[in-house]
Structure 1
């Protein structure tokens, strides 16, 4: 029997308690968590494999690699750049899944406020496989509006991110 790990959720962002939640997962043979990890934590690679992210910056001069506690900002889903901060980062190792999560927010009038937690789990599985799970909880009116669309743009956007991440880690472009 193989046991798969789960995302660590802060209470505020517990799935099903916000205004929008999506979960995307792929399991791929022939890749390792370490190969995937580089393309996930090095933000300078994001735009090469995911077209729904732009304007990545590190206001405190950190980056482009994400580290625990680092603040950054980025634009996505048509929102102005969101202020983000890494809240969990654990590099994958033998028997230990890679974990990355950040919070991001957009302030302003109530109809524009958005708070999210975007989490990633990357783990090696038996048989030369890697599992990549990404989940996000969003709170705020813009999130509720996304959740009402069919299909949910965040679900499709995150699937495109996963697919691009796998292509990049596999050494394939486009």
Structure 2
């Protein structure tokens, strides 16, 4: 199985917070999942913790390398820029990652949020999302029990998989 590609400053274990979630779902392929993830304005339709998605510079609604966008999640207004975007093709996994930031000074939160959508043998798909965070808000999130990042991202994965299954059944 493939893994996330990390920028040096966001390598897990060297940041203030890290969350990792994955699901493996039978009956789906990366091509079924990818459009729902790559089209950010669809996120609120299957993930209630995302809202008010908008793009800058006339871009969107699909993510792409270098695309700047805004969304709200976990109570944070997040500015973001896509730093990796590779659609799944020819047996290679789909990869999307963005650098996101919110706040300023001691309240600043910086994140690297990455996704991998990978076909597996037997008609299965693996959806992996991992996020590293830096800043005082990240330190607070890391100490919270239950962990809001782990729980929230699991909701995102499960919603994404359910939406992809629903779309596939409607075809």
Provide TM-score, normalisation by structure 1. Answer: 0.94
How many pairs are equivalent?
A: 167
The equivalent position to 2:166 in structure 1, one of 128, 152, 171, is 171
Counterpart selection for 1:27 from 15, 21, 24: 24
Residue by residue over 1:5-59, the C-alpha shift from the partner in whole angstroms, topping out at 9 and shown as x without a partner, is 0000000000111111010000010000011000000012111000001111112
Q: Spell out structure 1 runs of 4+ moving beyond 2 A.
A: none
Equivalent residues in 2 for 1:46-57 (5 A)? 46-57=43-54
Q: Is 1:8 aligned to residue 5 of structure 2?
A: yes
What corresponds to 2:89 in structure 1? 93
Between the aligned partners of 2:104 and 2:19, the Cα distance in structure 1 is 24
Inter-partner Cα distance in structure 2 for 1:90 and 1:109: 33
The 3-state SS of whatever aligns with 2:155 is helix
Listed as ranges, the gaps of 5+ residues in structure 1 are: none
Residue 126 of structure 2 is aligned to residue 158 of structure 1: no
Query: TM-score w.r.t. structure 2 length?
Result: 0.95
RMSD: 0.9
> C-alpha separation between the residues in 1 aligned to 2:31 and 2:92?
11
SS class of match (2:35): helix
1:53-68 → structure 2 map (5 Å cutoff): 53-68=50-65
Which of 100, 109, 112 does residue 104 from structure 1 map onto?
100
